[in-house]
Structure 1
Amino acid sequence: MIILTTLGRCLLGTLLALMAVVQVIQADERPSVPKMVFAHYMVCCPAAGLAATVEDFEREIRTARANGIDGFALNVPGWSREPHYFDLSRRIFRAAERSKLAFKLFMSFDNAPVDDSATMVDELSQSPAYLRIDGRPVVSTYSGTPEWGTRLAERLLASGRRPFLVPNYQYPSEHFWARNYGHPTAQFLDDLYRAHPELDGYFVFGPDLGYPKPPSDGALVAARSRVAAKISMIGIMPYYRGLRGNFRLFESGGFQGMAAQWIAAIESGADWVEIVTWNDWGESTYVAPYGDTAQQNLWNFNWGPLLSHEAFLKASRYYIDWFTSSNRPAIRQPSLFYFYRLHPKSAYGIASPDTGEQGRPKGSDDLVDGVYVTAFLPRPLTVELIADERRQSVTLAEGVHHHRFELAKGRLVIRVNDHERTITEKQLEFPVTNLGQIGNFNYFAGEVPLP
């Protein structure tokens, strides 16, 4: 038994008090970062191809910035075996510098070797376009493990660079039996932050599409990161449909699922949002425009027939402004977006563009056939969906509204009425048929211009 003297008890009390003060200071040391919205950029797949020029990338950057996006997270798996990843990344950085816009870039490594990753950060972080927090280059990941981050931090510290680490570690360790935490738990996050103080935050990738049940991953990451005095970055995804061996999908209810994810990020007090993705054509999570809205070919149909998702990006602008300003925007100009698959869920699509193998993706039974509209209205308007002689109509009040019309085959027309007066009418780009190969279980996203 240890008997404390009066002096010992005083010293112990002082020590405990100091420890409490240190804990408070540490809790107050949470980095102060501006609210920002990024887009996950697949360096493998520029819209202009692997020969994309600095000018091509600058056009993409200008488009992203015009839609409220603050920067790109450049996804690369490494470069030593495929040097084009480094070459393309250099061009993207030159484009950002040349644009002279307030647009930042940072690396998001996709199971890349530590040596490759350190070399890229060492060189590219010297660019004025590289995102830095308190002078430290931001580094993120898709998946990976804490051991990778520790080794990377050690390598970069040796060259005088301390990374600002906001990774998406889906595994707690490199052990082959480690459980995947693509959907993190509170215990996983608490243990991760406790065991790895070099982390500055956490990025949750997805998919947590918010339809029909509300998304929950982002709010959990934001809450546990705040407790640990770390920052949170929340992935927001428009839709998901994979190809080849990953021929599966998740319903998003048109734009309704993406809107639910935005609301969750806003209400949770997340620090950053990352739209996942800008240009992952193969998994249909892209929001980037790549040509005329009716164009379906990209890279000679390398990913099969594509459908425009630009309206996912445009409809997000309301939420981007809300998130970055922390104030809900007033709606002064009406806007109307629509989202639909070109065929019913019973159709057969193309599982593999390489072989032409046909089938129905995993999860297709859970789809909800419909033509979805999302409206941002400063006054009530009536929206009609017309297919041949069939008419469906809904009157939407002032505000933000999501509505599903029943899917009807044939040519589709959307007509908008202000009381009894038609103010606009548009025939949609594609008819609805039984041919799943044309739309291939993807969403087409479009806009009806409103006066």
Structure 2
Amino acid sequence: MHLSTTLTLGGLLFVLPATLGAATGIDAHPRRSRHVRHGQYARDVDSSSVASVIGAVNALQSGVARELADRSDKVGQALYVDGGAAAITTSTETVYVTQTVTQAFCPTQTAQDGAIQVSAASPSTLTSNGPTSNTFVASSSDPNPIDTFVSTSSTADSASSSDLASSSGPIDTFVSATSDSIQNGPISLTSTSSPVHDAGLITTSASLAAPTSIGSDQGGASTLTPTIPASTPQITETINPSTSSKTKLVFAHFMVGIVSTYQASDWAKDMNLAKSKGIDGFALNIGVDDYSQKQLDLAYSAAEQISGGFDLFISFDFNWYKISQTAEVATMLKRYVDKPNQLKVDGKPFVSSFIGDGFDWSAAASQVGQELYAVPYFQPTADNANNAGLSGLFSWAAWPGQLDNQPVNASMTDSRDQTYLGVTQPAGKTYMAPVSSWFSTHFGPEVSYSKNWVFKSETLWKDRWDEILSMGDQLDFLEIVTWNDYGESHYIGPVDTPHTDDGSSKWSKGLDHTAMLDFAVPYIKAFKAGQKEPIVEQDTLTYWHRPHLRSASCDATDICNAPPTGHDFLSDTVFVATMTKAGGTVKVISGSNAPFTQQVAAGVQMIEIPMGVGKQSFEFTTSGGGSVNGDSSIEVSADCWNGIYNFNYHSGTITTGA
């Protein structure tokens, strides 16, 4: 169902309707896996601070009303409604209004007056478990950015004492300085870092049957003096004394809010895995948690130990920050903008956000004391694209139906990307595109952030990467959504990490998504090489499937007493992707179903096999003579997953030696 939340403040009544995004074409934003902190960071709403209510037109322009109440001098930025509507009743109003724009979520207890009552949840810890040119030059320490990205570095178990000296206390106070005016004119770069590693020549092959040849590291000290179009951004990083040339970067969105107990070794483990698959860095999503600074200190310290370097930048989550908190954002940034592994573009520290339309990034830059390369998730409007404080825009529209959180029986398209490109390119700004593998969430009335739906995502990972390659010459940056958001099932990092459990372990524990990293490698290589087809250098088979049939009946024991909205758009299918240099043969036995055998051509091919109850077995023989077989560690059941509906997935990879 659609939910409209009302707030009664100072005698005025406001509403944030769930259908607002659908009616206006503006994104509604699903809650993410830091749900548990709703209660911890609730703020009292002082009705005396409500100076005015912004009407519908301004609400739409702000891009904030759909999900985030501005918690300074106005609340809600919403539409008027009549006084007969029900109002949320809480003694302390939490104005993280994201759940109010979601639909199909499990209803909580309803009082006679129709007011929705919300409940709190306590966290627990899982113990192991210009203008249109988009070419730019990036300098980092990676000696060959389009290789197999295998890191052999050792990791540190702790951050430096200087980084952690004040991590347990309040964020240090910094003196603000006024930055120079942000310039949009031509920029040139001469790098004299020594020693310098040249990435070498890149030669490409138009044939899917043969991999692209990558030039080797030439080594030796030299001076880089790249010649580039005046309007193109340049990325500079001071990770260590060596640099190399690369053309495009891929990041993964990392939820810092759920890793309060991470150690430096945990960060290093994640970073090494990400780098080994071609991911260049993490977008570090932070809220206002008291441990954010400690974890950022650990992350930046750990990144310095990664062989070849690993990029980091902060992504401020405006579910938690107010758009009026310029000083707080600037103070946090000042602590990290000059760290060795801080990503810089055109010499400016890169920064992003989750929502936050209306935040003044120019003012933040002034307080930081240097220009910022801000690429936040703002709405794709001409005003935002032409905002002097922004260097580009990021999109969170990574799933079909995401604009209004209404699942649709359709595949992902690039229509939202084209909308963003339609405003960023004329403004000479960059566009950072999202990539995601899945979306399924199933929070029940036991928590205050209940939501229960699944987007059609079965072939999304391949579909989206194909779209990315088709748009590759228009894109500089990609952000994978996400590395570790278990609550919405779009994590591609390990699930057995020491993270806070917001309740999502019910459907995520034991279901491995890291095989999707293997699947992404040929696409990441192709994206960075400017190719339109994936670059296959290793014969690999990746599979994924759900843990139970769609027909499982779990209403009596399920936490929502109902399957997620959109589940009927999914099929009982085992998905197999082959990545081969010369083709081969695939054999799949799904439960009690008859064996399925199919020949596959070179390149990346998809096979869909009817899903049967029982063990899932795979055999892969390549034309080059390699052969391998393996079984999924998760069997398919006709019944519920530990009593609940689970429309998450499990993945695995088998790789031949030839």
Task: Give the TM-score normalised by structure 2.
Answer: 0.56
Aligned to 2:364: 155
Deviation at 1:418, TM superposition (A): 5.3
Q: Which amino acid aligns with 1:449?
A: T
Q: What is the distance in 1 between the residues matched to 2:248 and 2:551?
A: 42
The reply to whether residue 372 of structure 1 matches residue 578 of structure 2 is no
Q: Distance in 2 between matches of 1:281 and 1:320?
A: 23
Select which of 208, 224, 240 maps to 2:399: 208
When normalised by structure 1's length, the TM-score is 0.80
* Counterpart in the other structure of 1:142: 354
What is the match of residue 651 of structure 2? 445
- Distance in 1 separating the partners of 2:362 and 2:477: 22
Give the Cα separation in 2 of the matches to 1:38 and 1:351: 41
Report the Cα distance in structure 2 between the residues aligned to 1:349 and 1:273, rounded to whole angstroms: 38
| CA distance in structure 2 between the aligned counterparts of 1:140 and 1:132, rounded to whole angstroms | 12
CA separation of 1:105/1:266 partners in 2, compared to 1, >3 Å: closer, same or farther? same
Q: Does 1:69 align with 2:271?
A: no
- Does the CA contact (< 8 Å) of 2:492 and 2:516 recur in 1? yes
Are the structure 2 counterparts of residues 414 and 202 from structure 1 closer, same or farther at C-alpha, using a change threshold of 3 Å?
A: same
State the AA in 2 paired with 1:240.
Answer: F
* Matches for 1:103-182 after TM superposition, within 5 Å: 103-111=310-318, 112-113=321-322, 114=325, 115-145=327-357, 147-148=358-359, 150=360, 152-170=361-379
* Alignment check: 8 A CA contact 2:432 2:478 kept: yes
For CA contacts below 8 A with separation 6 or more, give which structure has more relative contact order: 2
User: Equivalent residue of 2:282, what SS?
Assistant: strand
Change beyond 3 A, Cα 1:409–1:325: same
Q: CA deviation at 1:169?
A: 1.4
Distance 2:496 2:416 in 1: 34
- Of 261, 268, 274, the residue aligned with 1:51 is 261
Q: Does 1:342 align with 2:547?
A: yes
CA distance in 2, matches of 1:297, 1:107: 19
CA contact (8 A) 1:209 1:258 kept: no
- Mapped to 2, the partners of 1:351 and 1:399 lie a distance apart of 46
Query: CA separation in 2, counterparts of 1:366 and 1:129?
Result: 43
Say which of 486, 489, 492 aligns to 1:287: 492
Q: Which amino acid aligns with 2:538?
A: Q
Secondary structure of 2:381's counterpart equals helix
* 2:37 counterpart of 1:37: no
**Is residue 275 from structure 1 mapped to residue 444 from structure 2 by the alignment?**
no
What's the C-alpha RMSD, in Å, of the aligned pairs? 3.0
Measured at CA, do residues 300 and 42 of structure 1 come closer, stay the same or move farther in structure 2, by a change above 3 Å? Answer: closer
**Post-superposition CA distance 1:232-257 (Å, at most 9, x none):** 1001011001131121111222xx31
Q: Within 5 A, what are the aligned runs for 1:322-333? A: 322-327=526-531, 328=533, 330-333=535-538
Q: Tell me, what secondary structure is at the counterpart of 1:309? A: coil
Q: Could you tell me how far apart the structure 1 residues matched to 2:484 and 2:424 are?
A: 28
**What is the Cα deviation at residue 30 of structure 1?**
4.4
C-alpha separation between the residues in 2 aligned to 1:301 and 1:72? 24
Which residue of 1 is the match for residue 608 of structure 2? 404
Greater percentage in helix: 1
Residue 395, structure 1, aligned to residue 599, structure 2? yes
Q: Which amino acid aligns with 1:54?
A: A
Matched residue SS, 1:155: helix
Q: Retained in 2: the 8 A contact 1:208–1:215?
A: no
Separation of aligned partners in 1, 2:598 and 2:286: 45
SS of residue paired to 1:247: strand
Q: Any idea what SS the aligned residue of 1:425 has?
A: strand
Distance 2:565 2:421 in 1: 31
Distance 2:185 2:293 in 1: 42
The CA distance in 1 between the partners of 2:233 and 2:346, in whole Å, is 8
Hey, what's the Cα distance between the residues in 1 that align with 2:615 and 2:335? 53
Give CA deviations for 1:116-144 in whole Å, capped at 9, x if unaligned. 32111011112111111122111111111
1:199 to 368, 390, 412: 390
Q: What per-residue deviation string (whole Å, max 9, x for no partner) do you get for residues 167-226 of structure 1?
A: 1014xxxxxxxxxxxxxxxxx4323223x2221101011233596253332243235322
Q: Report if the CA contact (8 A) 1:208-1:217 is conserved.
A: no
SS in 2 for 1:437: coil
| CA-CA distance at 1:159 after TM superposition | 4.0
Matching of residues 235-254 of structure 1 within 5 Å: 235-244=434-443, 245-253=450-458
Post-superposition shift, 1:42? 0.2
Identical aligned pairs, as a percentage?
26
- Return the match for 2:300 from 83, 93, 97: 93
1:384 corresponds to: 587
Matches of 1:288 and 1:132, distance apart in 2: 25
Output the CA distance in 2 between the equivalents of 1:207 and 1:444: 20
115-124 or 380-389, which deviates more? 380-389
Q: Determine the C-alpha separation between the residues in 1 that align with 2:499 and 2:257.
A: 17
- Partners of 2:581 and 2:186 lie apart in 1 by 46
Distance in structure 1 (CA, Å) of the matches to 2:555 and 2:331: 40
Say if 1:241 and 1:442, in contact at 8 Å, map to a contact too: yes
Task: Name the CA shift for 1:189/1:351 in 2 (closer, same or farther; >3 Å).
Answer: farther
**Cα displacement (A) at 1:330:** 4.3
d(CA) in 1 for partners of 2:647 and 2:513?
A: 13
Residues 351 and 379 (structure 1), Cα distance of their counterparts in 2 relative to 1, 3 Å cut: farther
Aligned to 2:630, which of 418, 421, 426? Answer: 426
Per-residue CA deviations over 1:352-402 (Å, capped at 9, x if unaligned) read 9xx944420111111122000001112232212213362222221122101
For these two proteins, the number of residue pairs brought into alignment is 394
User: Which residue pairs with 1:9 in the alignment?
Assistant: none
Instruction: Give the letter aligned to residue 127 of structure 1.
Output: K
For residues 441 and 463 of structure 2, what CA distance do their matches in structure 1 show? 22
Per the alignment, do residues 102 and 351 of structure 1 end up closer, same or farther by CA in structure 2, a change over 3 Å counting? Answer: farther
Is this contact kept in 2: 1:348–1:437, CA < 8 A? no
Partners of 2:417 and 2:428 lie apart in 1 by 16
In structure 1, stretches of 5+ residues that fail to align are: 1-22, 171-187
Q: Which residue of 2 aligns with 1:5?
A: none
Kindly indicate whether the alpha-carbon contact (under 8 Å) linking 2:534 and 2:603 is maintained by their aligned counterparts in 1. Answer: no
CA contact (8 A) 2:507 2:648 kept: no
Paired residues of 1:30 and 1:230 also in contact (CA < 8 A): no
State the alpha-carbon separation in 1 of the partners of residues 619 and 534 from structure 2. 26
Q: Which residue of 2 aligns with 1:266?
A: 469
User: In the superposition, relative to structure 1, how do residues 330 and 382 fare at CA in structure 2: closer, same or farther (>3 Å)?
Assistant: same
SS class of match (1:153): helix
Measured at CA, do residues 329 and 373 of structure 1 come closer, stay the same or move farther in structure 2, by a change above 3 Å?
A: closer
Compute the displacement of 1:282 (Å).
0.8
Unaligned runs of 5+ in 2: 1-183, 188-228, 236-246, 402-409, 444-449
2:420 counterpart (221, 228, 249): 221
Against the structure 1 CA distance between its residues 58 and 423, is the aligned structure 2 distance closer, same or farther, given a 3 Å change threshold? Answer: closer
